[in-house]
Amino acid sequence: MKPPRHRRLPGVGSAARVRAGVLADRAVKKLSTKATVIPRILPRGRHKLDPKLVAASQRQRILEAMTTLVADKGYAQVTIGDVVKRAGTAKRTFYDHFEDKLQCFLAALDATTETLLASGRRMFAVSGGVRERCEYALRGYIALLVSMPNTAKVFYLEAMAAGPEAVTRRNDVQMKFARHIVGLSRAAAQEGHGQELSELHALGAVGAVHQLIYAHLHEHGPDSLLEISDDVVELGVAFLTVKMPTRPTRRKRAAR
């Protein structure tokens, strides 16, 4: 006998779920700016909590559950049942917010990558010389990954296993990091070190750093990432101060 399929609530279609997710995200940001604490545990039965606060709490718990479970078990092994059980919600609540497991994972991935990008922006914005700024940013980034092991696993290991949409999001994040590298290389060139990199070359630098991190995570996990900090810094500084060869100009063929 086939297991019974979950019945979605009437009127809660794809468009409605997308709108619910957008409203919940806005609620989280709005409540955060007002220093409102989003409750992790909601009271049972009737209560007077703002419905937006309730939705934000449910969505946040679901996303946290998805991130934790994917980091522990791998994306392929996680089920919606696992997520709602850990989040302490009903399946109908899950489907109020997300169409399926993939959309939930993508939302969780967006949340984790925004954390990485926001931290990266702050680290790259510190004062000092280019080498100091590069070293500070890269060492800080590695330390951040160590302090957020689930985020590190989800972004570096599991995003690749979740399909093309997740890979595209991961690539977009790498491009944003590359633009930070372009800004640093511009500052390096002004200080007489190397030359300003193109976005393509900067993306290569980001890819090389991320590959070092990925390989270590895959083999050893996040706890020992600090062991490769020196290698990551050396690689980053090398890319920033490299003298790119000039391309030879092609001679135009004489008109016959």
pLDDT tens sequence for the chain (256 residues)? 444 444 444 344 555 555 545 444 554 444 444 445 555 555 455 555 556 766 788 899 999 999 999 999 999 999 999 999 999 989 999 999 999 999 999 999 999 888 888 888 888 777 777 778 888 889 999 999 999 999 999 999 999 889 999 999 999 999 988 888 888 778 877 877 767 888 888 898 889 999 999 999 999 999 999 999 999 999 888 877 776 666 555 555 655 5
Residues 165 and 81 in one domain: no
* 116 and 162 belong to one structural domain: yes
* Residues 112, 233 within the same domain: yes
C-alpha–C-alpha distance, residues 58 and 42, integer Å: 9
Burial class (CB in 10 A: 0-12, 13-18, 19+), 1: exposed
As for how many domains the chain has, the answer is 2
Is the residue at 85 inside a domain? yes
**What DSSP element (H or E) covers 10?**
none
Q: Is 112 inside a domain boundary? A: yes
- Does some domain include residue 157? yes
Nearest alpha carbon to residue 105 among 53, 62, 55, 61: 62
Are residues 234 and 135 located together in one domain of the fold?
Answer: yes
- Residue 73: alpha-carbon gap to chain centroid: 18
Residue 137 CA to residue 118 CA, distance in Å, equals 12
3-state SS class at 80: helix
d(CA 119, CA 53): 26
129, amino acid identity:
G
SS3 content of the chain, % helix, strand, coil (to 5): 70, 0, 30
Domain with 59 in it:
14-40+51-99
Are 116 and 170 contained in the same domain? yes
CATH code, domain with 198: 1.10.357.10
- Clarify whether residues 117 and 93 are in a common domain: no
